[in-house]
Amino acid sequence: MPALAIVGRPNVGKSTLFNRLAGKPLAIVDDRPGITRDRREARGRLGDLDLRLIDTAGYEDAATGIEARMRAQTERALQDADVCIFLIDGREGVTALDQRFADLLRKAGRPVILAVNKCEGARGEAGLGDAWSVGLGEPVPISAAHGEGMSDLFQRLIVEL
């Protein structure tokens, strides 16, 4: 079963996507960044693919700085995952932290799908255009909360696996 890691800075919607793919609310969704204590793994499904989901958010409550947590998250994700979804927030656009995160992922040279979350109702359009600047290819607009874009995400996933 392929392992899929969901990575990205706090509050972009990683736990929301994890729960959607798991089909049940296993990870805590919170609008306060960085304080969730999530389960890290679950069985999930996208299209007709069974997946081992890895939510890297468990590192967000470490007592270390955000850059160190990002590196820890990324290293763990790349060790265990066949493919990563790198999530950004379409309503906030690409932040400096997103860019540094993207640098790590690009250097690692492993399959990464760039997904722009919170795009329901065309509200993420600005962030979607912005997302090309992280250099990880064509961004996939999704709404983890509303289940939009899941079939596009699936199409990209089967290309990478």
Kindly identify the residues of this chain, within the stretch 19-38, that bind ligand GDP according to CB under 6 A.
29-31, 33, 36
Expressed in angstroms, the distance from the first to the final Cα of the chain is 11
Residue 104 tokens, joined: 């790590």
Of 46-54, 77-85, 108-116, 117-125: span binding ligand GDP (CB under 6 A) = 117-125
How many whole angstroms separate alpha carbon 39 and alpha carbon 136? 27
Q: Give yes or no for residue 95 binding ligand GDP (CB under 6 A).
A: no
Of 4-12, 71-79, 107-115, 152-160: span binding ligand GDP (CB under 6 A) = 4-12
Q: Give yes or no for residue 74 binding ligand GDP (CB under 6 A).
A: no
How many whole angstroms separate alpha carbon 155 and alpha carbon 157? 5
- The neighbouring-strand residues paired with 48 are none
Please report how close the Cβ of residue 28 comes to ligand GDP at its closest, in angstroms.
7
Out of 11, 71, 106, 154, the only residue in the binding site for ligand GDP (CB under 6 A) is 11
59 assigned binding-site residue: yes
108 assigned binding-site residue: no
Please report how close the Cβ of residue 145 comes to ligand GDP at its closest, in angstroms.
3
Q: Give yes or no for residue 57 binding ligand GDP (CB under 6 A).
A: yes
Residues comprising the binding site for GTP?
Answer: 8-15, 55-59, 117-120
Residues comprising the binding site?
Answer: 8-15, 55-59, 117-120
